[in-house]
Amino acid sequence: MESKTKVTEMNGEKQVPESIGSNDCLIEVQHLKKSFGESEVLKDVSFAVTKSESLAVLGKSGTGKSVLIKCIVGLIEPDEGTIILFGKDIATVSKKELAELRNKIGFLFQSAALYDSMSVRENLEFPLRNVKPKPSRSEIDELVSEALKSVGLSDAIDKMPSELSGGMRKRLGLARTLIQKPEIMLYDEPTTGLDPITAREINSLILEVQKNNQTTSIIITHDMECTKTTSNRIIVLGDGHCLAEGTFEELEHSNDDNVKSFFEWQTELH
């Protein structure tokens, strides 16, 4: 995949990427800060994601990767900074507008966040309850069938989540997210805990979703194969800042010691 930006070494300085403010940006994060007690997780993070782009966010454990996307989707409120989705500052819109924005965003949780008391079919039908106008029974059946087919789980429609493997649960979580046809997809560690073959299947699904739906994606991961396979561009988080951004190949040959050590550490891990 081609990069949409040149590699930038941030070196912890307060910088806003030049792409912020562009008309084709669907996600803009400006000087985001978040602390928990005395722990500063995000000290000053800025980046933008353009329409149909796939951005991977890398960082070691505790660097605030998951906190970042939870701030974007509104599950965590940042201490400072601005988050703009579809050109709107989420801190200034009404509750109704915020709900409408969230309906355009799909979030694949690390745990898949399934309802264990519901069947596969019921898990997929659940997010359709709040869709307006409410779809008919035949429309719901068609949406469920289409979503399951897209992730290769058509035969599992009447099973319970407890009957599914880890990879199947992850695919079901993705199907439940896709059933609302989101314009933005947020993936939190999509391949964590999966065997290499299943992880590659999830990577392929992420690529297929982006290609077929032209979704704009942020992928939080520490999986280098996932990063290399699914992203147009990468940012590296460290010490509460964006240390660098660029393609996988550009960052792999970065002269910045922090970025180099990260890639070397990942190579040893995998």
Q: pLDDT tens digits for 98-133?
A: 888 988 998 887 766 788 899 999 999 988 887 778
Higher pLDDT, 267 or 156: 156
Instruction: Characterize the bridge pairing of strands 80-85 and 25-36.
Output: antiparallel
Higher pLDDT, 233 or 17: 233
Task: Give Cα 209 to chain centroid, integer Å.
Answer: 12
Mean per-residue pLDDT for 13-25? 51
Decide if pLDDT at 29 tops 50: yes
pLDDT of residue 4: 37
Among the listed residues 84, 76, 59, the one whose alpha carbon sits nearest the alpha carbon of residue 220: 59
Cα–Cα distance between 147 and 174 in angstroms, integer?
Answer: 9
Q: pLDDT tens digits for 50-85?
A: 999 999 999 888 889 989 999 998 889 999 999 999
Mean per-residue pLDDT for 252-262? 80
Among the listed residues 16, 18, 25, 17, the one whose alpha carbon sits nearest the alpha carbon of residue 85: 25
Decide if pLDDT at 21 tops 70: no
pLDDT of residue 112: 67
Instruction: Provide the mean pLDDT of the chain.
Output: 85
3-state secondary structure the chain: CCCCCCCEECCCCCCCCCCCCCCCEEEEEEEEEEEECCEEEEEEEEEEEECCCEEEEECCCCCCHHHHHHHHHCCCCCCEEEEEECCEECCCCCHHHHHHHHCCEEEECCCCCCCCCCCHHHHHHHHHHHCCCCCCHHHHHHHHHHHHHHCCCHHHCCCCHHHCCHHHHHHHHHHHHHCCCCCEEEEECCCCCCCHHHHHHHHHHHHHHHHHHCCEEEEECCCHHHHHHHCCEEEEEECCEEEEEECHHHHHCCCCHHHHHHHHHHHHHC
pLDDT of residue 246: 93
Higher pLDDT, 161 or 14: 161
Q: Of 51-55, 73-77, 90-94, 182-186, which range is least confident? A: 73-77
Q: pLDDT tens digits for 139-172?
A: 999 999 998 988 889 999 999 999 998 888 888 9
Which whole-number Å values give the CA distances from 256 to 5, 21, 46, 192, 241, in the listed order? Answer: 18, 27, 19, 27, 14
